[in-house]
Amino acid sequence: MLAAMNFFGHAAVAAWFGAEPRFVLGAMLPDFASMLALRPLHTDDAELQRGIELHHRTDAAFHATREFIGLVRAAERALADRGVRRGPTRAVAHIGTELLLDEVLAADSAARCAYLDALAVAPRAATVITWRAADDAVRFSDLTRALERRGIVDHPAPEHLAARLRRSLASRPRLSLTDTEEQLVCEWLVDARATVLDRAPPLLTELHHRLRAQSPML
């Protein structure tokens, strides 16, 4: 299964509907659980739970947008033409497009503030999440502190994004990138960036409309 919309994107979307840090953090929690190889997290905190529910609605709506589907298909063709194998092509086209979309979302000051504010409340929020193992809360806090220290990287270099993609796929033998494919992905990122930035506004507008239609109370 390919990755869902990534955690910063979920924070940015949550910021459209509210700035409460626990709500925004909740929208990222399923991704953090996946990164830490944890089972789905449970909480009785209303704001965290509202964010978790938005996360799942956002994934479904985002992957159904016409613009995202079109961008991924174009990416698959471009990567295949460069000689990237089918498995890595499908994964990189999907995840790489999302990483490029993050550049658009990161330009929004409200999204940046919402993301960092959410990370800041993570240690307190950890006390109202049910953890299955004693060290799960520690690992969660370590992750969120590391992300908070890293901050938000503006316009990451294609080499950085290609390396990040390779790391994220390394544990999947059928999707993992070779040295040559990492370089080909880097070249694709250079070419694809302008296209993704150009199509991002209509994509995000469509996503917003879909979420509003699903949940008018948002």
What does the domain layout of the chain look like in residue ranges? 7-214
pLDDT digits (tens, 9 = 90+) for 109-163: 999 999 999 999 999 999 999 999 989 999 999 999 999 999 998 889 999 999 9
Q: What is the pLDDT, as a whole number, of residue 2? A: 43
For the cut 50, the answer to whether the pLDDT of residue 1 exceeds it is: no
Query: What's the CA gap between 42 and 132, in Å, rounded?
Result: 10
pLDDT exceeds cutoff 50 at 70: yes
Q: Is the pLDDT of residue 8 over 50?
A: yes
Predicted structure pTM score: 0.90
Cα dihedral sign, 45-51-55-58: positive
- The residue-averaged pLDDT of 164-176 equals 94
Q: Which residue has the tokens 């929690």?
A: 29
193-203 tens-digit pLDDT:
999 999 999 99
Q: Could you write out the DSSP letters of every residue in 140-188?
A: HHHHHHHHHHH---SS--HHHHHHHHHHHHTT-TTTPPPHHHHHHHHHH
pLDDT digits (tens, 9 = 90+) for 15-65: 999 999 999 999 999 999 999 999 889 999 999 999 999 999 999 999 999
Cβ neighbourhood burial of 132 (10 Å; 0-12, 13-18, 19+): exposed
Closest CA to 199 of 97, 110, 112: 97
Report how far residue 110's alpha carbon sits from residue 12's, in angstroms, rounded to the nearest whole number: 8
